[in-house]
Amino acid sequence: MIDCHTHIVRWMHQQEEELTEDKLLKRADELGIDRFVVLPIGASPESQTFPFSTEDALASFKRHPDRIIPFCNVDPRQGNNSPDTDFSWILDEYRQKGCKGLGELTANMLFDDPKCVNLFCQCGKAGFPVLFHLFDKVGVSYGLVDDIRLPRMEKVLKEAPDTVFIGHAMAFWSEVSADVNEETRGGYPAGKIEKEGRIQELLRKYPNLYGDLSAGSGFNAITRDPEYGRRFLEEFQDKLLFGTDLCHVVQDVPIVDYFRNGLKEGKISQAAFDKITRLNIERLLK
């Protein structure tokens, strides 16, 4: 299995134990995860962690090239805080050093802010997928922001067709059901999916959109209605990526057993299992 979403983290609040490189490797071994993407975090001021930079991720990759897949991270406001900032030189440098994408992008900005679109387009030219955290409002927390029904994201999917976007977090996955509302879109909506949401529409319509199944948000999307969740995995088996969002030393990650048991019990096909847990990310990251 290849995990599309992990972190090496030192939290801003002292009571939380640091998830070091060694502890992350140990946890991956325990879970039977062969390789994993390490996403730099803390590039944006809204982050709840101390910065773990692209250079840190590359150093970890150098020590464990057979396990770690490094991404890079920059904030769209860096440079000149301008929609004309040239990021191409640093993206090219990071690509040559081994980075395979950009993320986790957590800047608390509107998804279609010109500064974001500028970075997105340059990532496309560099061949970097963008893994983003989606939030439901500006202020209070971290993550790119869209309105309900994701109109800003759809606008950007059209404007940056050469850039692959990998969606993550509550405001993204709550849109799996049409009954999402302003009260539920920032959390973990429960109940059957009686009518499909915007996520399915956008996954079908735009070849450059993928879904990151990590964390409680992705897991909730495929388990709140178990029967529908299995159909969702089968239909979108070419557009989904397995992930855990490991960021705590003690963290429950039920998605690992969900996939392994689902395959064993015949609830997930071999083709869907192979694509979601390995082949799709191998293809995206080359």
Tens digits of residue pLDDT in 200-228:
999 999 999 999 999 999 999 999 999 99
User: Cβ atoms within 10 A of the Cβ of 285, count?
Assistant: 18
Top pLDDT among 12 and 79 is at: 79
Q: State mean pLDDT over 247-255.
A: 95
Grade residue 47 by pLDDT with cuts at 50, 70 and 90.
Answer: confident
Q: How far apart are CA 164 and CA 182, in angstroms?
A: 27
Amino acid letter for position 89: W
Is residue 54 within 8 A of residue 40, CB to CB? The reply is: yes
pTM of the model: 0.97
Q: Summarize pLDDT for 138-153 with one digit per residue, the tens.
A: 988 899 999 999 999 9
**Is the model's pLDDT at 16 over the cut of 90?**
no
Q: Summarize pLDDT for 160-195 with one digit per residue, the tens.
A: 999 999 999 999 999 999 999 999 999 999 999 999
Q: Determine which helix (DSSP H) or strand (DSSP E) holds 271, and give its type and residue range.
A: helix 270-274
DSSP 207: T
The per-residue pLDDT for 269 is 98
**Cα–Cα–Cα angle for 233, 167, 84, rounded to 5 degrees:** 155
Q: State mean pLDDT over 243-262.
A: 97
- Furthest-apart CA atoms within the chain: distance in Å: 54
Domains of the chain, earliest start first: 2-285 (3.20.20.140)
154 Cα distance to chain centroid = 17
**Is the model's pLDDT at 43 over the cut of 90?**
no
**Is the model's pLDDT at 11 over the cut of 90?**
no
Q: How far apart are CA 56 and CA 34, in angstroms?
A: 21
Q: How far apart are CA 73 and CA 183, in angstroms?
A: 31
Which residue(s) pair with 222 in the sheet? none
The per-residue pLDDT for 154 is 98
Q: How far is CA 61 from CA 106, 244, 284, 285, in A?
A: 22, 19, 19, 15
Burial label for 15, CB within 10 Å (0-12, 13-18, 19+), is exposed
Residue-averaged pLDDT of the chain: 96
